[in-house]
Amino acid sequence: MKAIGIVGFKDSGKTTLTGLLADALEKVGHTVAIAKFAHHKLDKSDRDTERLMKPGRIVVGLGNDEAAIFWSRKRHLPDLLPLLAADVLLVEGGKQLGWLPRVVCLRNAQDEQELGAGLAVAAWNYRDSTSPTAGGLPVFDQNSIAGLAFLAVERGFTLPALDCGECGEEDCAGLAQRIVAGSATPADCKSLGDDFTVTVGGAPIGMNPFVARIVSGAIKGMLSELKGYSPGPVEIHIK
């Protein structure tokens, strides 16, 4: 899955951009998932869902043409990624996320300096696409949204947010910054290596290399006791 963040301060056009970018991506055949960070409770007021919610309880809503899951506790976006079957994930908000590139929504040049965090691949200014940016980022507006959609697919990526340090960086943000700068690629993430991989529903699950070695060793140890076993690549499929 390709992923890109859309970050900015209040009234910078984040939601406008998210909607336009989703439409532009779908227009050229990509499926899109959207994750939106909110600083307030999700809107369930005056509904049966609100009456059923209690701390620690999970409520699933099933409608004729939609479905929703509500957890009565905080969940982190990486935990939910396996549920999102899409070509491109747009993440509105989440300035603290350091494991995916971002588009910065500008009100002025100072915003880019505060929001970029070494992860910015483009800037959005829905008032004037000719406005220069401090870092020389390409600037898009409503008239060039197709170009931004292309860039989102070309430059988008996601890391597993494990901060394991196996890549040589202190955390995933360090590797993400190198990827954005062009000195690394997502393949440099050791948590998504080729030696031991786990996918659920087709989506790869990031695994700390130390844990991966333990799980891999345990599986190989058990298989070695079975008749007919010989060393080589192991494939296990579970439905």
- Residue-by-residue DSSP string for 15-40: HHHHHHHHHHHHHTT--EEEEE--SS
More confident position, 228 or 145: 145
Is residue 219's pLDDT more than 90? Answer: no
CB 93 within 8 A of CB 77: no
Q: pLDDT grade, residue 102 (50/70/90)?
A: very high
Q: Are strands 58-62 and 67-71 parallel, antiparallel or unpaired?
A: antiparallel
Take residue 38 and report the two structure tokens written for it. Answer: 């909110």
pLDDT digits (tens, 9 = 90+) for 10-45: 889 999 999 999 999 999 999 999 999 987 777 767
pLDDT digits (tens, 9 = 90+) for 117-155: 999 999 998 555 556 565 788 999 899 999 999 999 999
* Interval 190-201 mean pLDDT: 75
More confident position, 229 or 118: 118
Q: pLDDT grade, residue 46 (50/70/90)?
A: low
CB 185 within 8 A of CB 179: yes
CB 123 within 8 A of CB 67: no
Torsion of CA 154, 165, 212, 232, to 10 degrees: 70
For residue 59, the one-letter residue type is V
Instruction: Give the Cα separation of 208 and 199 in Å (integer).
Output: 14
Which pLDDT score, from 0 to 100, does residue 169 have?
A: 94
Instruction: Give the Cα separation of 95 and 110 in Å (integer).
Output: 15
Task: Give the residue extent of every domain in the chain.
Answer: 2-155
Burial classification of residue 222, based on how many CB atoms lie within 10 Å of its CB (0-12 exposed, 13-18 middle, 19 or more buried): exposed
CATH superfamily of 2-155: P-loop containing nucleotide triphosphate hydrolases (3.40.50.300)
Is residue 214's pLDDT more than 90? Answer: no
